[in-house]
Every structure is written in C-alpha cells, then in structure tokens.
Amino acid sequence: MKKTRITSIRSSLAWLVAACLFPATLTAALLLAYDYQRQRAELVRDTVAHARALMHAVDREFAGAEMSLRSLSTSPSLQSRDFAAFQAQATALLHRHYANNIVLIDASGQQRINTARPYGQALPKATNMAQLERVLQNGRTDISDLFIGPVLKRPLINVAVPVYSGNAVSHSLVAVVLPEHLQKILSDYRFPSDRIATIFDASGVIVARTHEIHQFIGQPLGSDLTQRLTEVDEASLEAVSREGIPVLSVFTRSPTSRWGVAIGIPIASLTGELRHSLWLLGGLATLLLASSLGLAWVMGGRIVQSVRALRSAALSLGDGRVAAVPALEIREVDEVGQAINRASLMLTDASKALTDSEARMRGIVESATDAIVILDDSWNIVLFNFAAVTMFGCPLEEAIGTPFIRFIPERLRGDFSAQLLAPRELDLQDREAPAIEVATAMRLDGDEFAVEISFPQVLAGSSQVHTLILRDITARLRIHEALERSNLDLQQFAYVASHDLKTPLRSIGGFVQLLEKNYADKLDERAIALIRRTAAAANRLEQLTDDLLSYARVSSGSRAFTPVDCSEVFEDVLQLLDAPISASGASVTARPLPTVTGDRTQLVQLLLNLVANGIKYCDGPPVVHVSAELHEREWVFSVKDNGIGMEPKHHERVFEIFKRLHTQQEYTGTGIGLAICRRVVISHGGRIWIESAPGKGSTFRFTIPASAGESSSS
Ligand code: ADP
C-alpha cells in the first residue's frame, strides 16, 4: 500500500508561500541579470566612443604639431641656412603651440638648433636615431615612441617632419611633445574617478595615465592588453590593471600613429550596481519570505486551533457525548463547528428518545408472558427475557452468549437446526403472519415440554434480527387432549343413548299404543288421558335423544370440509320443512346463496334449525327470508323472520344448551337447536348472534369464512 505523506497545515502554508515567492524572486533576478548585461554592453559602447574621442584628441595634437613643423620646414631662413633666424622663427611659433621645444637635426644626427637652448650653445647628437633614419628614408612625418631626450634628459615624444633640400631630405625637424601635455588632455576629459584611462605609444608603453602616472610612465601596458594589441586595433576584454585591479578594459588604436588609448572600468564598480540590486532583491525577498512565513505561521496556528476544536468536538460526538464547538475564526471551519453542534443537539435528542424507547421496549419484553429470545448470526443468545429465564429454568447470565440449541433435547437438535434455525426468506409483504411451529424444548434440568415458537420478522435497518417467541403449550395440549377425550366420551354416550334409550322408548310407545287400542273400552277417561300423556312423553324423550345425538356429532375435531353450495342447502331445508310450511302457510324465501367450504350435513342442520325456529316462533303467518353478503373475508348470512322476537337480555343465553324461553305448552322444543347452530358455526370458524326485540321479529346472523379468491367486491 502506498503510504500517504501527512503534512501539517503550517508546513503546507509555508510551502505555498515559498512556491509563490520563488518564481517571483527568480524572475526579478533574471531581469536584473539581463539588465546588467544590457548596461554592461551599453557601457562598453560608451567607453569605446570615449576612447575613440580621446584618441582623436591625441591624433589632433600630433597633427597640429605636424602642421606647424611643415610650415616651418618651408621657411626661407632654413633654406638659406640662417639657423639663428630659424630658431627665432621656431621659438615664436612655439608660443602659439603645444610642443615644448623644436629641434632641427641634420642627416648625421647632430642637433643644429634646439629652442630649449639659446642659439649657439653646443648641442648633443640626437638619441632617437631610428626615427631619424625613417624620416631620411621615407620622407614622411614620423611620431616616435616615448624615449629619454638627450637635452632635457627626460621622457618625451618627437613629432618629426622631413626638411627637403632639393629632392633629398637634408634634415629632420622635430617638435618635442612632453608627456605632461598628453596628461593634460587626459585630465581635461574628466573621467569618473574610478576609470583608469591610459594613453600609450605605438609599442604599448604608457605615456599618460589618469592614475599613478609617476609610477607607470614608460612602463608597458598590462600583459593581457599587450597580448590583445598584437591581434586587433579595437576591443574590450577583462584584464588586470597595472595596480592589480580587475577591470573591463576597452582600447582603441589610431590607424595613423599606431598610438592608442585604453580605458579600464573596475569590475567592482561595474558589478557594484548589480550587486547592490541583487542584495536589495535578496533582502526584499528574504523580508517578504520571513513576513509571509510569519503570517502563514500565525494563520496556520489559527486554522490548527480551529481544527483541533473541531476534532475534539467530533471525537466526543463519536463517543456519543455532547459536543459544544465555540465560535471559530475561520468561516468554513466555523460552519462545520455549527453543523457539529446541531448534530450533537440532534444526537442528544435522538439518544434520549432512544434511551426512552429502549427502556419501554425492555419493559415490554421483560413483562411479556411469552419467552422472547434474540439470537446473533451464529445462533447464540443475545437477549433472554424474564419469561425465558422462568421457562427454561436458566439464569440470565448462564444463557447470554450460549447457543440456543442447548434448550432443545439432543436427539432433536439436528432437525431443529435444519428446519427452524435455517435462514428464513424475508417476506416483507407478509409481516403479520409470523411462522409458528410446535417443537419440543428442554429446561436446564432436562425436563422436556412442548412449545409453540413464532419467528416474527423483525428488521434492524436492512438486516433481520433473529427473534424467537416461545410459548409453553403443555397446559393447553393437556386441556386439548382432555377435551378430545370428553368429546369422544360424549359421542360414545350419544351412541349408547341412541341405541340403549331409543329401543326401550320405542317399546314404551308401542306398548302404550297397544294399551290404548286394545283396552280403550275397558278403561275410563282418566286412564286414557294418562296413556296419551305417557305416549307423548315417550315421543318427546325420543326427540330429545335425537337432538342430543346430533349435538354430539357436531364436534370441532372431525372436519371433512368440501365446497358446499348454500342454495342447494336451502333447497334441502325447504324439502325437510315441507309439512310445517304448508301447515302454517309460511312464506320461506332466499336470495341466491354462495358456495362455502364446510360440512354439508352440518350446514343443512344449521339453516334448518334457524328457518324452523322462524316458522315456529310466530303468531301469524310466518315470513322467513334467507340472504348472504360478503364482508371483508367472510360471508354474513341472515335469517330474518316476522315472529315474536325476544328481549336483548336473552340474545346470548338462548345459544346455551337446553335454554328455552317458553313452556312446552306455549311452543314445543328441546332447547338444543340453537346450541347446535352455535357449534356448527364455531366449527366452521365463524360467529353467530341475534338482532331482535319483542314483537319486532328476529334476525339471526352467522358468518362463514369466504374461500380463498373471493373478496368483498363479488
Ligand atoms: P327450541 O327447541 O326450544 O326451539 P332452540 O334452541 O331452537 O330450542 O331455541 C331456544 C329458545 O330461543 C326458544 O325456546 C325460543 O324461546 C327462542 N327462539 C328461538 N328462535 C326464535 C325465534 N325465531 N323467535 C323468537 N324466539 C326464538
């Protein structure tokens, strides 16, 4: 996995500042460097121009001297060898000119006149014989290098022109120029004090110099410059001055005299400005960086503080504690803080609501009479309510975390796990009908008992909670068994009664009839009346026996339900009641009746009893109507009559066995009919009730569950 580098806010801000400042500083430095180069090039150009101008000034000096000499050389006094006059003429010229003195040298090198000496004084031979040679041979103006003059005994320069006698050069006329003169030209130029300007002769010897001329006059130029002079006439180069100062040196040479001028600009002063600017820039950048970093540090600190406040709030929120973030200085962070505060408030409310509802739920769960057990995904117990503790005889601490299967007898565990604990299909459509199973469970002490287990589909979020609700049905099963037994006994009894009671009853009836028939003439009126009453009693007893038998037969246990068309049932009833109907002149009608699932014989008995009662309990001509309507999932049947009706207080009681509201004299009956009706309705899963009032007729209503597929719209 790639490890992410974690940086602090402060260092990130510092980097940001550096990233912003660095390019700006770099650009400024580049601009400065470019500017320096430009300025340097400009300076070189300017300096070359200065050097050329200076060179011109020197050349002009030599040219001036040459011009004067040339006019002197054609002087008539010279032609006539009147040297005294010539010296006077030359001296006069000197007053208007720059040469120190004028010397006339003959072809042998002997000075003929020298204005530096009074005329007639003995003069030495010329020392610069090379120049004399050149003038005699070439017949052209010649400018000497610096040399020590024989008369003045000091460094000087000679500008020499030839003096012709006929076609040949007879003399060399020389103007002596002192280095001081050139030095003056140099100082007239007023170079900036750090510029080292030098005037040098054709052989590269220093003649005039802005700095330290006394030390360097007559000395050659620096070696770099001397070297370069042999190559070109004009150039700029970095060199070291005679004083040892590194300079940018510019030189130019006269094409005519081969003299030259060099101007040295100390590198230090050249780069001084640049260095100054760079220092300024550096200082500025450093200052900016420092202040920005300081600002970043302070701001980073604020952010860090705010975020820390958020962090501790978020942490306490995560722990479920109340978080209170104070107002923070940074808006976005403050917004998060406010959101955390709101969330905290909501959490507090929610957790209070949760605690309350949890307490309520726990109360309900703990007070439930059914055992409630919640299992985790590995079927271990996580919740075990009080009823479960009692049911399994297992303390809570011993149950929690242990597998539920321990409460199932060992031999049944395989089946139980496979069938009951298997993951159940989550059916959200069918939430109201939890699967109910009957199983055998085992107490901690090993006692086994029957339980009914339901598996309600409880959802926590989107996952199912494995919940078991267990009910001990031992007692119920026992009652059920007892009921079954008693039902069976009753049926047995009914059969016995039908056989063992009806046979002697029939005998009694037969004997009484025989008695009346054979001994009617021998018996008096009272005896005959007694015989008739005995016959009636026997008859009634037989009827009672039949009714009891059919009551016993309607047991909820024996079900043989089939689809039964109730219209057909009604037809059967009409046939069975043919005699009473015609006797009473009753009108018995029905609307089309539905087909229901049930026991046909029982349904005939039900409708028969109700219609018969409707006919029986009536003072005038009876009108009985049967109808059925679908309500929700059940059919509601109504049997309505126009009979005597009954008080509401009897509406319940008449369904009890043997309950009658009338004497045999008023209306005959056994008091079993409605009891049978109730049994039939209950065995079909329905209810029966009466709507009636005395003199207002009665409506008996009962329900039968509708078969699947039928609905209230049909
Ligand atoms: P019986 O054999 O007496 O008819 P039932 O169980 O059928 O026994 O009825 C119980 C009593 O309910 C009757 O004695 C009668 O008083 C009353 N009863 C039943 N049906 C009606 C009815 N349609 N109108 C008025 N009273 C009725």
Same domain, residue pair 608 and 651: yes
**Has residue 712 got a pLDDT over 80?**
no
Last residue within a domain, chosen from 496, 526, 548? 548
Percentage of the residues of the chain whose pLDDT score is greater than 70: 95
Ligand 1 center to residue 610 CA distance, Å?
9
Query: Are the CB atoms for 370 and 469 separated by under 8 Å?
Result: yes
* Residue 694 CA, ligand 1 centroid: distance in Å: 13
- Spell out the residues 6+ positions from residue 73 whose beta carbon is closer than 8 angstroms to its own: 161, 162, 163, 164, 173
634 located within any domain: yes
Per the prediction, the chain carries an average pLDDT of 87
* Whether residue 510 sits in one domain with residue 373: no
pLDDT at 422 over 80: no
pTM to 2 decimal places: 0.46
Residue 713 clears pLDDT 50, i.e. is over it: no
Cβ-Cβ contacts under 8 Å for 412 (sequence gap 6 or more)? 439, 440
* Cβ partners under 8 Å of residue 659, min gap 6: 653, 671, 674, 675
Q: Is 634 in the pocket of ligand 1 (CB under 6 A)?
A: no
Is there an atom of ligand 1 within 6 Å of 697 CB?
no
Weakest-pLDDT range from 162-176, 460-474, 487-501: 487-501
Q: Is the C-beta atom of 644 inside 6 A of ligand 1? A: yes
Q: How many domains does the chain have?
A: 3
Atom in ligand 1 nearest the alpha carbon of residue 697: 24
Q: Is the minimum distance from the CB of 547 to ligand 1 under 6 angstroms? A: no
Q: What is the C-alpha separation between 144 and 258, in angstroms, rounded?
A: 10
Nearest Cα to Cα of residue 203 among 259, 150, 151, 256: 259
Most confident of 477-491, 508-522, 660-674: 660-674
Q: In this prediction, what percent of the chain has a pLDDT beyond 90?
A: 46
Residue 700 pLDDT greater than 50, yes or no: yes
The residue among 101, 93, 98, 95 whose CA lies nearest residue 70 is 93
613 lines ligand 1 (CB under 6 A): yes
- Confidence grade of residue 438 (pLDDT, cut at 50, 70, 90): confident
CB 673 near ligand 1, within 6 Å = yes
CA distance 102 to 99: 7
Q: What is the distance in A from the centroid of ligand 1 to the CA of 636?
A: 21
With respect to residue 504, please indicate whether it lies within any of the assigned structural domains: yes
Q: Is the CB of 274 under 6 A from ligand 1?
A: no
Does ligand 1 come within 6 angstroms of the Cβ of 383? no
- Domain encompassing residue 461: 368-422+433-467
CATH number of the domain bearing residue 392: 3.30.450.20
Give the pLDDT band of residue 43 (cuts 50, 70, 90).
Answer: confident
Contacts of 170 (CB under 8 A, 6+ apart): 106, 107, 163, 164
Q: Of 548, 583, 608, which one is at a domain's C-terminal end? A: 548
pLDDT over threshold 70, residue 178: yes
Q: Is the domain of 564 the same as that of 712? A: yes
Q: State whether 538 and 650 are in the same domain.
A: no
On the question of pLDDT at 224 being above 50, the answer is yes
Span of 189-193, 248-252, 423-427, 596-600 with lowest mean pLDDT: 423-427
For the CA atoms of the chain, what is the radius of gyration? Answer: 74
CA of 614 to the centre of ligand 1 (A): 8
pLDDT at 714: 37
For residues 446-464, give the mean pLDDT.
Answer: 82
pLDDT at 166: 83
Kindly give the distance from the C-alpha atom of residue 574 to the centroid of ligand 1, in angstroms, as a whole number: 19
617 lines ligand 1 (CB under 6 A): yes
Domain boundary at 529, 548, 567, which? 548
- Domain shared by 485 and 504, yes or no: yes
| Angle at the Cα of 89 from the Cα atoms of 86 and 93, rounded to 5 degrees | 135
Ligand 1 atom 14 nearest Cα: 660
pLDDT 10s digits, 565-607: 999 999 999 999 999 999 999 999 999 999 999 999 899 999 9
